[in-house]
Amino acid sequence: MPRLPAAALLLLLLLLLASAACSAAQEAQQEDYYLRIWPEKPAVKYGDSMVLNCSSNCENIGLETSLQTVAAGTGPAWKAFNLTSVTEWEPKPLCFATCGGTEQKYQRITTTVYRAPERVVLDPLPEVEVGKEYNVTCRVFIVAPIWNLTVTLYQGERRLYVETFEDHRNPEAGNVVVTSNSITAQQNDHGEEVTCRAVLDLRPEGPYLEMASLSKSLETVVFPMDPYLQTLGSVEINTSMPVECEVSGLFPVQKAAFQLFFAGERLNSSNHISGHKVSAQAQVTSISAGEHQLICIVSLGPVTKTAESTVNVYSLPKPTLHIDHPQIPVNTNVTVMCRSDGSKSPGVVMRISDTQEILLSGDGPSLQYSLMAQKEDNGRQFMCKVELKVDGRSVVKETAANLTVFYAPQMSDSSCPDKLTWKDGSEETFICSASGNPPPTVECRKDEVSYNIGIQQQVSKEHGGIYHCNATNAYGFDVRDVIIHIESYQPDILGIIIGVLCAVFISSAVGVAYYMHYRSKIKKYHLRRRQQQQVTGSPMEQKCLNGNV
Ligand SMILES: *[C@@H]1O[C@H](CO)[C@@H](O)[C@H](O)[C@H]1NC(C)=O
Ligand SMILES: *[C@@H]1O[C@H](CO)[C@@H](O)[C@H](O)[C@H]1NC(C)=O
Ligand SMILES: *[C@@H]1O[C@H](CO)[C@@H](O)[C@H](O)[C@H]1NC(C)=O
Ligand SMILES: *[C@@H]1O[C@H](CO)[C@@H](O)[C@H](O)[C@H]1NC(C)=O
Ligand SMILES: *[C@@H]1O[C@H](CO)[C@@H](O)[C@H](O)[C@H]1NC(C)=O
Ligand SMILES: *[C@@H]1O[C@H](CO)[C@@H](O)[C@H](O)[C@H]1NC(C)=O
Ligand SMILES: *[C@@H]1O[C@H](CO)[C@@H](O)[C@H](O)[C@H]1NC(C)=O
Ligand SMILES: *[C@@H]1O[C@H](CO)[C@@H](O)[C@H](O)[C@H]1NC(C)=O
Ligand SMILES: *[C@@H]1O[C@H](CO)[C@@H](O)[C@H](O)[C@H]1NC(C)=O
């Protein structure tokens, strides 16, 4: 191995050391250069001015930006720049300086450019049925930077929903729409205020900006049951019928709106509220027969419910009854004609009847019943009835007419008995009447003298005899003889004689019997008087005697 001289070795070592020290010193000088920007995290309102202070121990401090800048002061180791109007979103100005004559130093900062929300608007709240879900939408207009925005929806003091936008990437001002879905309406939510609050929080470098929308009150409704239509199932044509549509359990009851339709036409209705119940009343009228729909539509906020019912409008005109000869003599032919004019509902039954029975029935538009008028038919009432079954009940219309039959007088044993026996001196009334139409006049004569018919009179012998009675009217006469027999008082001679003889016999028999009895009593009396005289003074004896008598 060749031996190197020690001095050369030492020189080499010194050289190495010197070069190391030299480069270390150079490095140390480089470390001393600095460049700083203040503020470190600037935040500026869009359009406002902003001052950036670049401080450095290097020379030629400058600022590179596309924004307009003016100098805002300078010092030994700093330079301030006024960016007079920041109209860029997220500008990144660059501070630079020349260090050690040749070396360039830079520093770039990111500027937050913000805009306070221009408007915060809450969409109209829907009226919502309790128990149903609804959405609340809030719109925030022209705000930046959106990633520092927080939108909160409140109901009263309660927070309904919060939305943040950390993931938003665009620094430009924009609009945001926040929707809270599926909020379930509660019964006591009615009248609660809903508000939307937008917060732009740029602290600590920037401001804390808050803006709220106008509040809107929440309207909830309760509509649990279907409406109920109260109506008869049928109505006669051209007549009116009341109908009522009723709903219970509504809230708020005043807001219920009714619409009633009949046969496609809107009905005028009036509402009545009682408690949580509302009803609408209307009148239904139709000029056309047939089945018509009655519809009731009730709406309360977003809820609409319907009730439907069919109403049968029937037509049953009153029939006419015509008797061709309403007043005729007996034994002439009469025709009773029943007609029903105009349109009728199907199923009408027509009948001709009198007060006792149905004489004829059919479904025709007319019926005809003929008879030969008898005297019994006088005053007979004929009726023409039309009957229709609607809705399970029967509707009847009828017309009546009377027949008058004229006939000649007729007297009978009962109206004018042909034999009368009266007692002389008693009060009697002579009655003789006749049937006939027009009512006949009856005259009874005896010996060409007219007798007072129907007047009570005291009977005397002169009333006896034969009366010729004649009942007359315009249609003829009827005659009848009435024999009146008068009974006067005539004693019975034989009866009287027998009576007298009997009386004499009985009284004499009684006389004899009395005489015999009297005589025996006298005898006894005498005997007793004698005995009394003998025993006077002896009470004992007297007693005995008394006891024996
Ligand atoms: C800029 O910064 C320097 C150093 O921090 C300071 O001395 C100077 O006052 C500042 N200038 C302005 C205008 O703020
Ligand atoms: C910066 O410029 C604006 C607009 O010219 C001016 O209103 C503002 O006072 C300036 N700011 C400073 C610190 O000079
Ligand atoms: C609420 O919003 C959701 C989603 O956009 C939608 O599907 C739903 O129909 C909305 N609900 C109401 C009541 O508008
Ligand atoms: C603003 O948004 C930025 C970017 O998301 C975030 O770094 C910063 O912390 C936010 N500021 C506040 C006060 O939330
Ligand atoms: C009902 O009234 C209309 C108009 O008043 C009339 O034309 C029609 O004949 C009437 N119908 C009946 C069956 O009475
Ligand atoms: C409803 O009522 C209004 C006013 O009261 C009236 O003018 C109109 O004729 C009515 N309509 C019907 C169909 O009765
Ligand atoms: C009356 O009617 C009957 C039968 O209905 C008939 O036989 C008779 O000839 C009629 N009499 C008259 C006067 O028309
Ligand atoms: C028909 O007679 C009845 C009694 O039978 C009477 O009540 C009614 O008023 C009469 N009708 C006419 C139209 O004369
Ligand atoms: C009964 O009276 C009528 C009318 O006055 C008369 O024509 C008729 O001859 C009378 N009959 C008798 C039997 O008197």
Measure the CA–CA gap between 198 and 208, rounded to whole angstroms: 11
Ligand 5 residue neighbourhood (C-beta within 6 Å)? 237-238, 287, 315, 317, 342
Measure CA 247 to chain center: 7
With a cut of 60, say whether residue 484 has pLDDT above it. yes
- The three-state secondary structure class of 77 is coil
* Element housing 292 (H / E): strand 290-300
Cβ of 345 closer than 6 Å to ligand 1, yes or no, is: no
Q: What is the mean pLDDT of residues 136-155?
A: 96
CATH numeric code, 320-407: 2.60.40.10
pLDDT confidence band for 537 (50 / 70 / 90): very low
Ligand nearest to the CA of residue 397, numbered in listed order: 5
Distance 381 CA to ligand 8 centre (A): 7
233 Cβ contact partners less than 8 Å away, ≥ 6 residues apart: 309, 310, 311, 312, 390, 391, 392
pLDDT confidence band for 541 (50 / 70 / 90): very low
Structure confidence at residue 491 (pLDDT): 56
Structure confidence at residue 538 (pLDDT): 40
Q: What is the mean pLDDT of residues 464-487?
A: 92
Structure confidence at residue 545 (pLDDT): 36
Measure the CA–CA gap between 526 and 528, rounded to whole angstroms: 5
What pTM was computed for the model?
A: 0.62
Ligand nearest to the CA of residue 266, numbered in listed order: 6
Distance 315 CA to ligand 5 centre (A): 10
Instruction: Examine domains 119-221 and 228-312 and report if their fold is the same.
Output: yes
Measure the CA–CA gap between 61 and 75, rounded to whole angstroms: 11
Q: Which of 136, 140, 144 is CA-nearest to residue 115?
A: 144
Q: In the beta sheet, which residues pair with residue 206?
A: none
Structure confidence at residue 434 (pLDDT): 94
Structure confidence at residue 341 (pLDDT): 84
Show me where the domains of the chain are located.
31-114, 119-221, 228-312, 320-407, 411-487
Structure confidence at residue 249 (pLDDT): 92
Model confidence pLDDT, tens digit, residues 287-341? 899 999 999 999 998 899 999 999 999 999 999 999 999 999 999 999 999 998 8
Structure confidence at residue 460 (pLDDT): 86
With a cut of 50, say whether residue 548 has pLDDT above it. no
Least confident piece of the model among 83-87, 446-450, 493-497 = 493-497
Ligand 4, atom 1: closest residue by C-alpha:
148
The strand ranges marked E within 419-521 are 419-423, 427-429, 435-437, 441-446, 449-450, 456-458, 465-473, 476-487
Model confidence pLDDT, tens digit, residues 247-259? 999 999 999 999 9
Q: Does 3.90.1150.10 match the CATH number of domain 411-487?
A: no
Q: Which fold has domain 119-221?
A: Immunoglobulin-like (2.60.40)
**CB neighbours of residue 528 within 10 Å:** 12
Ligand nearest to the CA of residue 136, numbered in listed order: 3
Axis-axis angle for helices 539-548, 493-534 (nearest 10): 160
Cβ of 134 closer than 6 Å to ligand 3, yes or no, is: yes
**Atom in ligand 5 nearest the alpha carbon of residue 343:** 13
With a cut of 60, say whether residue 33 has pLDDT above it. yes
Ligand nearest to the CA of residue 268, numbered in listed order: 6
Cβ of 23 closer than 6 Å to ligand 3, yes or no, is: no
CATH class of 31-114: mainly beta
With a cut of 80, say whether residue 237 has pLDDT above it. yes
Model confidence pLDDT, tens digit, residues 415-474? 999 898 989 889 988 889 999 999 999 999 988 888 878 888 888 888 888 999 999 999
Q: Which fold has domain 228-312?
A: Immunoglobulin-like (2.60.40)
Q: Give the range with max mean pLDDT: 235-244, 453-462, 493-502.
A: 235-244
With a cut of 80, say whether residue 19 has pLDDT above it. no
With a cut of 80, say whether residue 521 has pLDDT above it. no
Sheet with 381-390, strands from edge to edge, namely: 358-362, 349-353, 381-390, 393-402
With a cut of 50, say whether residue 540 has pLDDT above it. no
pLDDT confidence band for 363 (50 / 70 / 90): confident
Both tokens of residue 467? 């009366």
3-state secondary structure 46-67: CCCCEEEEEEECCEEEEEECCC
- Tell me the pairing of strands 327-329 and 320-323: unpaired
Ligand 3, atom 6: closest residue by C-alpha:
181
Pocket test for ligand 1, best of 53, 54, 56, 79 (most atoms within 8 A of CB): 53
Higher-pLDDT residue of 523 and 453 is 453
Structure confidence at residue 448 (pLDDT): 83
pLDDT confidence band for 410 (50 / 70 / 90): very high
- Tell me the pairing of strands 290-300 and 265-266: unpaired
Please state, for a pLDDT cut of 90, what percent of the chain lies above it: 68
